Amino acid sequence: MQNRNPLSPKELALLDQMQRLRYSQGLITTSLSILRQSREAQDQMLLFMYEKHPSEKVFVERLAGICAVDPKMRK
């Protein structure tokens, strides 16, 4: 992922987990861009990934749910 801002430790953990679960590069890039907006969302998704090892579809559904309720994510 090429970005001018370096990734935080949480973002690196998310990246690592998404790569381990073999998510597509497009999903990884888009998800990290979205998740940069909220540290709380990063925490929620990271915990969800560690516990459930979700498919890409389930991951997207969970991320959409977080975006719908987190005011920081609705900008």
Q: What is the pLDDT of residues 10-52, one digit of tens each?
A: 999 999 999 999 999 999 999 999 999 999 999 999 999 999 9
50-55: long-range contacts, CB 8 A cutoff, minimum separation 24? 50/17, 53/21, 54/21
Q: What is the pTM of this model?
A: 0.84
Q: Judge contact between 41 and 9, C-beta under 8 A.
A: no
CA pair distance 2, 20, nearest whole angstrom: 19
